[in-house]
Amino acid sequence: MGPFLVESVLSEAINLVETKTLVIDEELRLESGRLLGPLTLAYETYGTLNAERNNTILVAHAWTGDAHAAGFHSREDRKPGWWDDLIGPGRLLDTDRYHVICSNVIGSCKGSTGPASINPQTGRPYRLSFPILMVRDMVRAQKLLLDALDIPSLVTVIGGSMGAMQALEWGIHYPGMVRSIIPIAGTGRTSPMAIALNALARQAIYNDPLWKKGNYKPEHQPVSGFALARAVGHISFLSEESMAMKFGRRFTARDGLFDFFGQFEVERYLEYNGNNFPSRFDCNAFLYLAKALDLYDVAWNFSGLEEALERLTCPSLWFAFSSDWLYRPEQTEEVVEVLQGLGQPVEYHRIESDYGHDSFLVEPEKFTPYVGSFLERVWQRVQAETVAKEN
Amino acid sequence: MGPFLVESVLSEAINLVETKTLVIDEELRLESGRLLGPLTLAYETYGTLNAERNNTILVAHAWTGDAHAAGFHSREDRKPGWWDDLIGPGRLLDTDRYHVICSNVIGSCKGSTGPASINPQTGRPYRLSFPILMVRDMVRAQKLLLDALDIPSLVTVIGGSMGAMQALEWGIHYPGMVRSIIPIAGTGRTSPMAIALNALARQAIYNDPLWKKGNYKPEHQPVSGFALARAVGHISFLSEESMAMKFGRRFTARDGLFDFFGQFEVERYLEYNGNNFPSRFDCNAFLYLAKALDLYDVAWNFSGLEEALERLTCPSLWFAFSSDWLYRPEQTEEVVEVLQGLGQPVEYHRIESDYGHDSFLVEPEKFTPYVGSFLERVWQRVQAETVAKEN
């Protein structure tokens, strides 16, 4: 029993992580022209920054994600970070080699400055006085964080969905710092369909009298409207196929087929998950991030897609999922084709998966092999250049 | 000027139609086992029933449709019936030849018995005491109407969406009466995705305090929730492509990109159309019909799809639209393949169209030529058999 016990204690010790916060006493000029600051940024790191300070990988999270990408916060924690399968010793993002960092985006509510934060100018929460953000602003804030941590370069920026948007913005706006990017299930610009779905979510919240134009108390969130808004999201993250596999047309066992309030299982699932959500996310933050998603357009403030993508000079590795109807493969392909036309180093895989937009979380094994070999090549180049510099 | 004026007056006279109602003093036993009656049925007819009483075509409407399929109700009317392009002298459903009938389904609010009707047993509106209906029940009520009108056979039953479901039920349950069916943009059973979207619509209404578990006054409908519910439907009827063509990523001119409440055009369209809807439809009827759609399964009370479809012995003509993601072509193809396997006379066309589920209303010219030649063959057979019988 002895050795097993020791090993188990050790591995738990390795997996214990904590969310750190850094206050940046600066005002960030946002795309809207407004200023936001000082900024608090929540982040986690895994692995060790090497002496050359060139082994960092930035992991960017999706809409309602957070800085807790891997490991456990305590021994009692039952769920690890959201991409734990991919981050750790010997894993895809191998913490024996890489220093991995994940930070909560500004506008969120998971430790970084967002609409629920106290506005230092007024001493009261921002709520709807919080400025409208774009994904580009989130990336600028991350850059301030990396500067503060004295990290001058990134092996890669990797992320799914809104994380893919951040990766692309990083590649375009900080070409000198980023050695590669890996956008997964992303888009070059949000489609009218995705905007329309977010419009439903917004309206569901606006319709809830408890929302009070954002002036609800944290302990009295507009639960009904917010749960419905989340259910809209859930539908868009799933696919026809994944719903068929998971629920089919099964009716909830406790309900009668001819009861007015009787539910199909898919309906109960949406209700259950929606209702749990307000306990772990701030409604206004949800709305601000939805807005940032809607406004997302890589060509924003460029003359067009070409002018924006000309700046992406590092190698990029793209994934889209066949059953993703929120950010359809065609949307990634539009970007990839422009990059190919520009002769830039680009690798693209359209992955067959039945899990819709969520595939990047549900079936990582379908794309991680490509990430592994891509990263290996990038890392070898980073090392070769370090050696060259030293000589 | 003379001849033009006469022609114009004449054509207007021809196009003036009225909605008739018939009270059937019978109790209909529903699939749920409950009884409903007496029944009021609203219907319109176009063209003339011939002496052989064998030239009737039944047009079945979709979710929020009504009996007013063609013509105008008055000279001031600005909009004709919902399928006016297809019904009239010399049109696809040629009223010089056919007697066309369209009736409002039970459960609706456009003249037929539904949850807003007065329950004769109590003298008060049914509201949520109205029984849950299935599409099969709607078809049974239509059969009672045709019996009352002494119409013993139908050249075809044609309809889109919920109308396609009715056509299929007609073919299966009244094989002796129906000479052909034409289901357009339908499905053999509603998918979990479609159910999930209806679940959002339902929840939007339940969340509205004005709904009062269905006990709102007709003049005080739960407007906000109902408008949102309708917007869910609108999204599912459109497609990625039609939204891109219609709205793109254009922002509403009056709004600022960085306004919290600023809207994209697609968002404003959904809001505008949703807000208009409660003035012309009853919220409880909307909910009952949504439930009937969710429960739709052609194999209901059969051992499976095969046993149900074995009964469809008449020729059937099917259409599905490439961009329809609510009732996807694969769902129609599932039914068509079983029919083909059973060796039954079936014709299927997958129509390339960018207009999603709405294609059957927006681009009829893409499928009407097939309908024309199919109908011609059916009609020739009907006439040949009539001659044979007379000899």
Got the DSSP string for B178-194?
BS-EEEES--SB--HHH
Rounded Cα distance, B157 and B165, in Å = 10
What mean pLDDT is predicted for residues A330-357? 97
- A240–B207: do the CB atoms touch at under 8 Å? no
Angle of CA points B375, B380, B385, to nearest 5°: 125
Q: For residue A150, count CB atoms less than 10 angstroms from its CB and return exposed for 0-12, middle for 13-18, buried for 19 or more.
A: exposed
pLDDT band with cut points at 50, 70 and 90 for residue A1? very low
Query: Looking at residue A127, what DSSP letter applies?
Result: G
Q: What is the pLDDT of residue B194?
A: 96
Q: What is the pLDDT of residue A9?
A: 43
Q: What is the pLDDT of residue A12?
A: 46
**Contact residues on chain A for B291, CB-CB shorter than 8 A:** 260
**Contact residues on chain B for A264, CB-CB shorter than 8 A:** 192, 195, 199, 294
State the catalytic residues of B: 161, 324, 357
ipTM: 0.91
What is the bridge-based pairing of β-strands B20-24 and B39-46?
A: antiparallel
- Average pLDDT taken over every residue of chain A: 94
A264 touches chain B (CB under 8 A): yes
Q: Give the HSE-up count for residue A189: Cα atoms under 13 Å, Cβ half-sphere.
A: 17
| From A248, A260, A287, residue closest to B132, measured CB to CB | A260
Rounded (10°) angle between helices B192-206 and B223-237: 160
Is A4 a residue whose pLDDT tops 90? no
Question: CA A266 → CA A251, A356, B193, distances in Å?
Answer: 8, 16, 8
Q: In this structure, what token pair is assigned to residue B250? A: 């254009």
Q: What is the pLDDT of residue A40?
A: 97
Q: What is the pLDDT of residue A10?
A: 42
Question: B237: distance to nearest CA of chain A, Å?
Answer: 11
Q: What is the pLDDT of residue B13?
A: 44
Q: What is the pLDDT of residue A3?
A: 37
Rounded Cα distance, B136 and B129, in Å = 20
Is A278 a residue whose pLDDT tops 90? yes
Query: Looking at residue B104, what DSSP letter applies?
Result: P
Q: What is the pLDDT of residue A253?
A: 80
Rounded Cα distance, B61 and B159, in Å = 6
**Three-class SS state of B84:** helix
Q: What is the pLDDT of residue A257?
A: 86
CB of B116 closer than 8 Å to CB of B218:
yes
Bond from prior residue into B38 cis (ω within 30 degrees of 0):
yes
pTM of the model as a whole: 0.93
Query: Looking at residue A4, what DSSP letter applies?
Result: H
| From A31, A192, A259, residue closest to B248, measured CB to CB | A192
Question: B359: distance to nearest CA of chain A, Å?
Answer: 17
Bond from prior residue into A38 cis (ω within 30 degrees of 0):
yes
B51 touches chain A (CB under 8 A): no
Rounded Cα distance, A49 and A99, in Å = 5
Question: A195: distance to nearest CA of chain B, Å?
Answer: 7
CB of B319 closer than 8 Å to CB of B168:
no
Q: What is the pLDDT of residue B187?
A: 97
pLDDT band with cut points at 50, 70 and 90 for residue A18? very high
- B325–A328: do the CB atoms touch at under 8 Å? no
Rounded Cα distance, A229 and B228, in Å = 11
Q: For residue range A56-107, list pLDDT tens digits in order.
A: 999 999 999 999 999 999 989 999 999 999 999 999 999 999 999 999 999 9
Q: In this structure, what token pair is assigned to residue B234? A: 């609108």
Rounded Cα distance, B373 and B378, in Å = 9
What mean pLDDT is predicted for residues A349-366? 96
- A271–B325: do the CB atoms touch at under 8 Å? no
Per-block mean pLDDT, blocks of 10 residues, chain B (391 long): 39 74 96 96 98 98 97 92 95 97 98 97 96 98 98 98 98 97 97 96 97 96 96 93 91 86 92 90 98 96 96 98 96 98 98 96 96 98 87 72
Q: For residue range A111-144, list pLDDT tens digits in order.
A: 999 999 999 999 999 999 999 999 999 999 999 9
Q: What is the pLDDT of residue A8?
A: 42
B240 touches chain A (CB under 8 A): yes
| From B33, B203, B240, residue closest to A191, measured CB to CB | B240
**Three-class SS state of B203:** helix
**Contact residues on chain B for A192, CB-CB shorter than 8 A:** 240, 243-244, 246-249, 264, 266
Q: What is the DSSP string of A243-290?
A: HHHHTTTPBPTTS-TT-TT--BHHHHHHHHHHHHGGGTS-HHHHHHHH
Question: CA B325 → CA A125, A200, A285, B218, B322, distances in Å?
Answer: 42, 18, 31, 33, 8
| From B202, B228, B246, residue closest to A203, measured CB to CB | B228
Rounded Cα distance, B105 and B130, in Å = 14
